[in-house]
Amino acid sequence: MTSYTDKGEKPERGKFVRFHHLTFWVGNAKQAAVFYCDKMGFEPLAYKGLETGSRELVSHVIRQDKIIFEFASPLNPGNEEMGEHFIKHGDAVKDIAFQVEDCDFLVQKARERGAVIVKDPWIEQDNYGKVKYAVIQTYGDTTHTLVEYLTPYKGLFLPGYHEPLFRDPLLPKLPSGCLSFIDHIVGNQPDDQMVPISDWYQKCLMFHRFWSIDDKQIHTQYSSLRSVVVTNYEETIKMPINEPAPGKKKSQIQEYVDYNGGPGVQHIALNTSNIIQAIVNLKARGMEFLSTPDTYYDTLREKLKTAKIKVKEDLKTLQELKILVDFDDKGYLLQIFTKPVQDRPTLFLEVIQRYNHSGFGAGNFKSLFEAIEKDQDARGNLTVLTADGNPKIFK
């Protein structure tokens, strides 16, 4: 595992401030938004659709503290771009939006360095303020929208969005999701694409390497992965980039790439300041999480006996809730992963809490892989790759 201290030169202009929002392209935006509100503790924030004069697209925007998700669907038959996206990826993250300063400069630099600019900077405004946008292509069919506030924006979300049409009376009666902000967003790549993609972020967006692991450190009996985390100069936006490494069986990264039809967002990590309360509440709301065997906690207790840090939370409670712990000499993190949030085994969510620890749970990757392999096996996807390249089901 490597942590990087060299941030490179401070960019003379332009700045990536934070994650702004995520846009999902889904078959039914209304129902997808309801799922995240009911199960994960989000609330309706804004709406755009036929009633607001949007004739082609409908958009339901939901929020929890600083986390904003937008679900978009086509309104009319024959929307080829979205239609092809559904056929290939199913419901998936289409865009990761960043709030920026000096959008024009960032786009110009990205273009000079070889990035594909999907949409040159343009301005939208309404009575609440003025916002500049641009769209840049990243891995696969995923894009980054840059969002720059030209004036302080006083509206609900962004220009053109209105109040939600309906507020579910059930939501205020449910326990809080306790989730605060987007911690990191992981992109899965096919084999040998991790380095070119992480290099792209460093070159085109002026990000730098923050953390990495290779397949010698992260593996189970069957499968392994490599990962590089890139981040902006201020280190407020963290983007781990994963690829599968050859193993005896198909890794969960490869399973993702197969079912997603190529690279894409594998999981979104949501930060909480109270993971125990968050998971108690989210489980009560009906959210499904991966399970961890009790042997993991036996090993953990042994390791913690000689550790330089002390975990404040009650280990028995963490074990009951199946929350994982990773630590080093300075601090620790607590994390847990949901099962996939759609039928394809692609996108899932993570809930994470940090105590002076900026890693990504490398000590838990093995346990996570084993939990996912159990589900992969149930799906018939824990397969051995034979010499002719065809999978052979193997249990």
Whole-number pLDDT of residue 395: 43
For residue 36, the tally of other CB atoms under 10 A from its CB is 22
User: Is 219 annotated in some ligand binding site?
Assistant: no
Query: Helix, strand or coil for residue 282?
Result: helix
Whole-number pLDDT of residue 218: 45
Between 365 and 122, name the one with better pLDDT.
122
> Which among 151, 117, 149 is positioned nearest to 134, based on CA atoms?
117
Whole-number pLDDT of residue 265: 98
User: Is 20 annotated in some ligand binding site?
Assistant: no
User: Is 267 annotated in some ligand binding site?
Assistant: yes
Within the chain, which residue ranges are assigned CATH 3.10.180.10?
8-166, 181-379
In the sheet with 43-48, reading across from the earlier edge strand, the strands are 43-48, 57-64, 67-74, 15-25, 92-101, 143-149, 129-137, 117-126
Percent with pLDDT over 90 in the chain: 77
Average pLDDT, the chain: 91
Give 369's pLDDT tier (boundaries 50, 70, 90): low
Q: What is the mean pLDDT of residues 55-64?
A: 98
Whole-number pLDDT of residue 392: 52
Does the domain formed by 8-166 have CATH 3.40.50.620? Answer: no
Whole-number pLDDT of residue 1: 65
Tell me: the pLDDT tens digits for 220-273? 666 667 889 999 999 999 999 999 877 766 778 889 999 999 999 999 999 999
**Res. 43: pLDDT tops 50:** yes
Q: What is the mean pLDDT of residues 354-374?
A: 78
Fold of 181-379: 2,3-Dihydroxybiphenyl 1,2-Dioxygenase; domain 1 (3.10.180)
Q: Is the pTM of this model over 0.75?
A: yes
